Amino acid sequence: MNRFEGVKVLLTGAASGIGRATAVRLAAEGAHVFGVDRDERGLAETGRLVRGAYVPHVADVTDERAVVAAVDAAAAALGRIDVLVNVAGIQRTTPIESLTVADLTLLFSVNLVGTALFCREALRHLPDRTGVIVNVASIAATQGNPYMTAYAASKGAVLAFSLSLAAEVVGRGIRVVPISPGTVTTPLTRDIEFPEGADLRYFGRIRSLLGSGAPEQIAAAIAFAASSDGGYLTGANLRVDGGSGT
Ligand SMILES: NC(=O)c1ccc[n+]([C@@H]2O[C@H](COP(=O)([O-])OP(=O)(O)OC[C@H]3O[C@@H](n4cnc5c(N)ncnc54)[C@H](O)[C@@H]3O)[C@@H](O)[C@H]2O)c1
């Protein structure tokens, strides 16, 4: 498929996992990808895997000035921005007994504030009628995720933000699609540690009997949502979770 021939894509979280798979997938379909991440080496590794046009850019999504500069740099490098995909994110276990303000601030800064800043800035460039934003939320936004209240709340915020933004820009013909993956095999899930004595029975309801998803399967859903195939999709939470919780 060549659904992204000539399409200019600004993508965050491009250095790893779902973001890397998305860069590879969209470029393979013809996109020119401007990949943002704080991990310079990871961005370079993505560049080795991408078959197509790819520009790496190091920035921390929580740094407002850096986000403004990154979006300006993307517009300059690509000539325009057609699609924004917000994938950058972090996950932490935060058992309620030891939950701190620092945990809440960090998770909301990266997951919500980073996403919101990129949306605000990219919307100065996205074209009316064809512009698209895809924001990666999580099934944690709508389903209990034990020991991860702060992460879940930050992803709930990403979902709520996306639904309201979709309503705000639908008049311009710009689509906003929040995507909620279930458990996907990436460094994010590999590095998670649960508290000692955690009751593992809780996890049955957020696991799919299909097993964990692959980053490429989420990238395929992002490609659908961002392409004209998803042209009537906006303001709806697209769960890609192998039936978790059903
Ligand atoms: N893996 C899962 O099971 C899963 C499930 C649901 C949602 N998600 C979401 O998918 C997204 C991607 O996750 P992943 O599994 O690919 O994780 P990952 O750790 O492999 O990739 C996340 C990327 O975000 C980047 N990043 C983190 N903080 C940043 C910052 N402040 N500035 C710039 N870049 C930053 C990291 O450097 C990394 O490259 C996240 O938003 C995550 O919450 C993942």
What Rg, from alpha-carbon coordinates, does the chain have?
17
- Domain boundary assignment for the chain: 8-240
185-227 pLDDT, tens digit per residue, is 999 988 788 888 888 777 777 789 899 999 999 999 999 999 9
- The answer, yes or no, to whether any atom of ligand 1 lies below 6 A from the CB of 90, is yes
Burial 5-29 (b: 16+ CB within 10 A, else e): eebbbbbbbbbbbbbbbbbbbbbbb
Q: Tell me which residue of 120, 68, 117 sits closest to 88, measured CA to CA.
A: 117
Q: CATH homologous superfamily for 8-240?
A: NAD(P)-binding Rossmann-like Domain (3.40.50.720)
Q: What is the DSSP letter of 194?
A: P
Q: Is the CB of 16 under 6 A from ligand 1?
A: yes
70 SS3 class? helix
* Structural tokens at position 138: 């999580």
* Residue type, position 232, single letter: Y
- Residue 199 confidence (pLDDT): 82
DSSP code of 61? Answer: T
Per-residue pLDDT of the chain (246 residues; tens, 9 = 90+): 899 999 999 999 999 999 999 999 999 999 999 999 999 999 999 999 999 899 999 999 999 999 999 999 999 999 999 999 999 999 999 999 999 999 999 999 999 999 999 999 999 999 999 999 999 999 999 999 999 999 999 999 999 999 999 999 999 999 999 999 999 999 998 878 888 888 877 777 778 989 999 999 999 999 999 999 999 999 999 999 999 977
63: Cβ below 6 Å to ligand 1? no
For ligand 1, what atom is nearest to the CA of residue 187?
A: 20
Contact criterion met (CB below 8 Å) for 177 and 234: yes
Active site residue 202: no
Check: CB of residue 239 under 8 Å from CB of residue 177. Answer: no
In 3-state terms the chain splits into helix, strand, coil percentages (rounded to 5) of: 45, 15, 40
How far is Cα 19 from Cα 184, in angstroms, rounded to an integer?
12
**Closest C-alpha among 40, 34, 85, 84 to residue 60:** 40
Regarding pTM above 0.95, the answer is yes
Which amino acid does the sequence have at 183?
A: T
